[in-house]
């Protein structure tokens, strides 16, 4: 009985001392891992570790984390960075227009402005811009191979908005780029508003009407990063109906911005970017 219980407790033959393995007859095929009658290498203390042994190797480069995007969604003045070109600053004013004013302005501008789709020219080829645009100002404006011809006939709503932003800021804008994002698939890719005609450290006042879209910013990488944007600082600023965003200082020199496509459906959005353009010398 005791013997039966002992056998039930143990699993397999390992509980009993193994019978000595008979020496393999000469010429017999044996395992090449451990020839019959010899001690396997891994059991012998005098043997160096075999190649199969796990060896911990330190990663050659410390793993870098992709920083999480910061969010700016409260009114205020935000200093984004102080280097390399100086202070980069944005000023967010949600509710610059109350919703009733913003509603009727949106409807008029959507209906009245001379919206058109431009062809974007880059080294890789040309493509239709995924949004509609129009331009106001005494001077032409050239960006990404597109030249917007002068258009001094300011729509009364645009003239009114220009005056209101100028009064707030104490400056005079002479130009305006209008963007119409018809739906979630319309967008503007990463860029800076750094054309020579905008001068250094341009002030850009951007007013949004209609559907809320994310305005994203990323810091330009330092020279050592060789154009690698993976680890740069990022920001997201949701811009909703009636919100004014001003960018100034070194923001265009040290940062890029975009309005990405969205996965979920979005109604139309108008964005008005008031600028000061200098004649080309
Ligand atoms: O639609 C926006 O908020 C941004 C537009 C823009 O980046 C531009 O006009 O340069």
Q: Is residue 216 part of a domain?
A: yes
Q: Is residue 74 part of a domain?
A: no
What CATH number did the domain enclosing 119 receive? 2.60.120.590
Q: Is residue 31 part of a domain?
A: no
252 lines ligand 1 (CB under 6 A): no
252-263 core/surface letters (b: 16 or more CB in 10 A; e: else): bbbbbbebebbe
83 alpha carbon – ligand 1 mean position (Å): 23
Q: Is residue 120 part of a domain?
A: yes
Residues facing 213 on adjacent strands = 239
Q: Would you state the pLDDT for residue 77?
A: 98
90 lines ligand 1 (CB under 6 A): no
- Tell me which residue of 202, 215, 209 sits closest to 141, measured CA to CA: 202
215 lines ligand 1 (CB under 6 A): yes
Q: Is residue 19 part of a domain?
A: no
Q: Is residue 149 part of a domain?
A: yes
Neighbours of 148 (CB within 10 A): 19
CA distance 235 to 215: 8
DSSP one-letter code for 265: -
Mutating to test ligand 1, I would choose from 179, 215, 238 the residue with most ligand atoms within 8 A of its C-beta, which is: 179
Neighbours of 61 (CB within 10 A): 6
- Number of domains comprising the chain: 1
CA distance 131 to 229: 25
**Which pair of structure tokens corresponds to residue 45?**
């203390």
Nearest CA to ligand 1 atom 7: 258
Q: Would you state the pLDDT for residue 63?
A: 81
Domain containing 199 equals: 96-275
Q: What is the pLDDT along the chain (281 residues), one digit of tens a residue?
A: 455 444 444 333 333 434 444 444 443 333 334 344 555 444 445 545 555 667 766 665 568 889 899 999 999 999 999 999 999 999 999 999 999 999 999 999 999 999 999 988 777 888 899 999 999 998 988 887 788 889 999 999 999 999 999 999 999 999 999 999 999 999 999 999 999 999 999 999 999 999 999 999 999 999 999 999 999 999 999 999 999 999 999 999 999 999 999 999 999 999 999 999 999 76
Q: Is residue 106 part of a domain?
A: yes
**Which pair of structure tokens corresponds to residue 201?**
């450290």
Q: Is residue 65 part of a domain?
A: no
CA distance 84 to 232: 14
CA distance 96 to 242: 6
Nearest CA to ligand 1 atom 10: 193
Rounded to two decimals, what is the model's pTM? 0.78
CA distance 73 to 75: 7
Q: Would you state the pLDDT for residue 42?
A: 42
């Amino acid at each position: 009985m005791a013997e039966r219980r002992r056998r039930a407790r143990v699993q397999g033959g390992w509980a009993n001392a193994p019978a000595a393995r008979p020496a393999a007859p000469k010429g017999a095929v044996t395992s090449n891992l451990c020839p019959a009658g010899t001690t396997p290498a891994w059991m012998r203390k005098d043997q160096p570790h075999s190649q199969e042994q796990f060896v911990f190797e330190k990663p050659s480069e410390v793993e870098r984390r992709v920083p999480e995007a910061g969010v700016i969604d409260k009114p205020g003045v935000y200093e984004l960075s102080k280097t390399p070109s100086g202070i980069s600053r944005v000023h967010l004013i949600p509710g610059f227009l109350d919703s009733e004013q913003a509603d009727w302005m949106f409807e008029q501008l959507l209906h009245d402005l001379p919206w058109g789709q431009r062809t974007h020219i880059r080294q890789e080829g040309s493509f239709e811009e995924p949004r509609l645009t129009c331009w106001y100002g005494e001077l032409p404006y050239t960006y990404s191979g597109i030249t917007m011809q002068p258009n001094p006939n300011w729509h009364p709503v645009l003239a009114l908005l220009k005056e209101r932003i100028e009064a707030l800021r104490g400056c005079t804008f002479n130009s305006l780029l209008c963007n119409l994002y018809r739906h979630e698939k319309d967008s503007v890719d990463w860029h800076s508003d750094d054309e020579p005609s905008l001068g250094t450290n341009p002030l850009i006042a951007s007013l949004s009407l209609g559907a809320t879209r994310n305005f994203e910013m990323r810091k330009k990488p330092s020279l050592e990063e060789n154009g690698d944007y993976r680890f740069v600082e990022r920001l997201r600023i949701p811009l909703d109906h009636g919100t004014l965003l001003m960018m100034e200082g070194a923001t265009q020199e040290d940062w890029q911005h975009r309005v990405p496509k969205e996965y979920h459906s979005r109604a139309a959005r108008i964005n008005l970017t008031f600028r000061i353009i200098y004649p080309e010398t």
